[in-house]
Structure 1
């Protein structure tokens, strides 16, 4: 009986990831792209591409489209407050990560495309690596 109680206590203490609905404005901006899935979990917006490789151009397009959703429809994100955007290939093996959320998207909105792609994105980008088991 003690083992069952301990197991239940252990399961109750595990912090399960909770997927949240993706704001409609983000889904609308990403719709024209070749997207496999978009999932918002805690503070991460993960965009799974339907492509074997995430290039810099694809990554920049996804980040710009997500940020455009906030710029064109202020307040459209509601209580959504992610802190990173993961853009991952169809195999989940390669991708890029944008460290930022609403504040960084507002900053992008004040820059021209060259400034975004040559200065801002490189400062906020890292390579994505699959979590180890």
Structure 2
């Protein structure tokens, strides 16, 4: 199909994208965004990649691009900005199912539309020293 139905902003090393692809998701229906040059180059080997700051991208395409599925592990330091930017791009886009955003966030993060799915073990991001949870926002 190739209409880029799933977005992974701030894709980093592509671990979430690889997990999606391993679970059967088409790489051609996945858009990854990464600002770091070397990481973006590596991501291009697994699927469509935009080499850009996600916050700038979201601002530029607001009202012109939507994604029915967003999966993300945003930078913990700017988690609120990244979730809001992703939320601005979340829309069904003509699909029957609700648009869904799933994110790994610090356990202290709150959003009025977020459903708490799971609290991860404290050592999941031990190098960052951040205790995380998985949330879902549906629209």
Query: TM exceeds 0.5?
Result: no
The higher-RCO structure (CA 8 Å, 6+ apart) is 1
Give the alignment's TM-score, normalised by structure 2: 0.28
Higher helix share: 1
Structure whose CA Rg is larger: 1
